[in-house]
Every structure is written in C-alpha cells, then in structure tokens.
Amino acid sequence: MPLTFRITSAYWRLLAAVLGSLHVSLALIVAVLSVLVAAKPPFLADGEAFYRDLAAVGAVCNAVLLTLSARDRGFRYRKAHCLLRDEIARYEQDSSFGINDLIVARQKGLAMIDTHQQERAAG
C-alpha cells in the first residue's frame, strides 16, 4: 500500500518540476524575443516582417506564460509532494502511524492542488 503513496508523491514531484521548468523556459523565451525585437540586430534579418513575426511569437508566449500560472501550480504540487513524502517517512518510522493517516495526507495534498484549480475556475 505505501508504494501507491510513493508513486503519487513521485508524480506530484515530477509535475512540480515540469511546471517549474515550463515557467522558466517561457519566461526566457519571452525575454530573448523581446530583446531581439527591440534591438533588431541586422545579422538576423533585414525585413520588418521577420521582427513583426518575432513580436507575435513573443506575445503568444507571454500570454501562455500569464494564463498558465505554471509557477503557482508547480508550487502547489511541490507542497503536496513534500507533505506526502514526510508522512510516508513517518509511517515507516512510527508504528502508531497507520495507512489511514497516509490516506488523510494524500487527501490533504489533493486539496492543496485542487484549491488552485478551483480558484482558476472561479477567476
């Protein structure tokens, strides 16, 4: 049974890492594209159409970055992972700590994640 909780914890950790990486990647892409559009270096292209396209791609990436909230979602998954990981360690070390306590910890972790999803739906 604890294996199921370990898998859930590892999945939450993976989602936290992916969402955090996505957030950083999109932010870097937006920054680089903004600098390129502002500087318009002649070694890339001479036409205005190229830089207009770069600006459009940058705007789309910025919109995705702002609406996705990857950093916030990643933080919630990380918090849920840490909670469940700590409770699994407690389960393995404390004989008075049972499976029901792990189930409660998993439900608390899911509530942390779902709270954010409910806020996005309401907003």
Q: What is the pLDDT of residues 29-38, one digit of tens each?
A: 999 988 988 8
Instruction: Give the residue numbers spanning the domain of 101.
Output: 2-118
Both structure tokens of 106 = 């998993």
CA dist 106 and 70 (Å) reads 22
Q: Which tens digit of pLDDT belongs to each residue from 41-60?
A: 888 877 888 888 989 999 99
Residue 118 confidence (pLDDT)? 56
Roughly what angle, to the nearest 10 degrees, separates helices 2-39 and 70-93? 160
How many independent structural domains does the chain possess? 1
Alpha-carbon span 58 to 19, nearest angstrom = 19
Question: Is 72 part of a structural domain of the chain?
Answer: yes
User: Could you tell me if residue 123 is inside a domain?
Assistant: no
pLDDT of 108: 94
Q: Which of 6, 12, 13 is nearest to 102 (CA)?
A: 6
Q: What is the pLDDT of residue 41?
A: 85
CA 49 to chain centre: 34
User: Does some domain include residue 20?
Assistant: yes
